[in-house]
Chains A and B, each alone.
Chain A
Amino acid sequence: MNLPKLSKDEIKKLALSAIGFVVLLYVYFTFFLGPLQKSRDTTLAQIGGLQKKIDGSKGEMAKAANLERQAKDATIRFAALKALTPDGAPIAWFPPRMKTFFANQQIDKAVARLESNTNFKQPELSSWSKYNWLIELPQADFAALGKSIADLENAEPLLEITKLNIHVMPNDSQFQQIGIAATTVIEKR
């Protein structure tokens, strides 16, 4: 190959051109194409993220609609259970309620006292509390007592009798003195 002989001046100029080319490439990729690519990648990632959210939201909304259909019975039942708890402090309404209940069962002078109240450990019952009551019936006939206890257990689904003491009255063996320890589950208000 017959390459033309380059003079010293020409070699300088060629070197200068080569340097200029390298600088041009550096500036182009670093300050123009690089940021542009970066911006494009970021935008694409944002689009991907949003698209994922939109796709997920469709599933979420379908799930909510499905859950609402499934939860119909539970919602009605939950509302019914909540309705068992009147407004106000339990100590204000539970003892009168028991007094009235037993009076309707022909058992007079029922007294209910609050022993303690605790919170549940289960996270599902975090908005409910457990109240322990002591209900004293100074005088009752056994048959009437049995019937009233059965009625109480049926009427108050959130009440559980944990202890039951029945003692014959010393003066009149026809009647008994009764102590009932009961636990009620009451919604916190």
Chain B
Amino acid sequence: MALQLNLLHEEILEQRQRQRDPLKIGMLVLASCGAILFLYYAWNAYRTIEIKSRLNHITADWKKIEPEVTKAQKHSAELTNVINTTRVLDDYIDNRFFWGPLLERLSRCVPPNAQLTSLEGQVLDEEKGGGISVTIDGVAAAREPRSAAEDLRQMLLEQLGKTYHDVKVEFKTLEDVETVANLGGANVPMSRFILAITFNPSAKPKPGATPAPTRVKRKGNDESS
């Protein structure tokens, strides 16, 4: 076996020590990690720039659309307001009470031997239950003037019941007066009456409610009335 002499022992040892210098190795590791981290950062930065560019594009699109959208929203709000207001006004118009037909019915109910001297009608507040209240003052002349007034009351009940609901026609006053009226050349006594009429113009009849009362033909009524 050949003998080997290491004459550079110290130099080789120094070189080995330099090679395994922890600071140097650490710096190399740090530099490698730094490079990896930089690349990762660069990749992220690229993606962020790309996203920002997308945001700019979308912002530009939105700026183009926004005035139209605002206009459409404003127009929608106006239209909704118009629809709602028209609906409420239509309800108001439809829920009005028409006095013309009532006056026509009243005029048809009054017989020749009765005369109405005053009429006071009003639409009642919703808090008072709504409906219509009418007070009629008048006089009736016949051999039995109270029967003539009762005939008028029943006629009103029947005729108004055909159109309106919950009709009530009641005497507030019915009294004979001393004055006499000349009907067909004959003097007949008179009575004065006040009729209170209430009804509901729009309510639907309750299920099972009794039908509107019909006029009762009473025998023995004064024919002239």
Contact = CB atoms under 8 A, between A and B. Distances in A.
Contacts of B101: 150
A185 B99 contact: no
A44 interface: yes
Given A75-B82, A168-B118, A153 B99 contact: yes
Nearest to A39: B48
A145 to B, nearest CB: 7
Interface string B66-77: 101100110110
Contacts of B58: 47, 50-51, 54
Mostly, the B contact residues are helix
Interface stretch (B19-27, B190-198, B211-219): B19-27
B224 interface: no
B162 interface: no
Interface in A133-189: 142-143, 145-147, 149-151, 153, 157-158, 160-168, 173, 181, 185
B75 A20 contact: no
Contacts of A4: 20
A17 interface: yes
Which range contains the number of B residues in contact with the other chain? 35 or more
B186 to A, nearest CB: 21
Contacts of B179: none
Interface stretch (A30-38, A89-97, A111-119): A30-38
A17 B41 contact: no
A17 B22 CA distance: 8
A67 interface: yes
B88 A36 contact: no
Interface in A51-81: 51, 53-54, 57, 60-61, 63-64, 67-68, 70-71, 74-75, 77-78, 81
Q: How many A residues are at the interface, by size bracket?
A: 35 or more
B24 to A, nearest CB: 8
With most chain B CB atoms within 10 A of its CB, the pick from A37, A44, A145, A161 is A161
B4 interface: no
Interface string B19-59: 01111011101100110010011001101100110110011
Interface string B113-154: 001111111110000000000000000000000000000000
Given A43-B52, A46-B55, A81 B79 contact: no
A125 interface: yes
Interface of B: 20-23, 25-27, 29-30, 33-34, 37, 40-41, 44-45, 47-48, 51-52, 54-55, 58-59, 61-62, 65-66, 68-69, 72-73, 75-76, 79-90, 92-93, 96-101, 103-104, 107, 115-123
In the A-B complex, the 10 residue pairs with the closest CB atoms: A17-B26, A150-B100, A13-B23, A64-B72, A146-B103, A57-B69, A166-B119, A71-B79, A163-B122, A14-B22
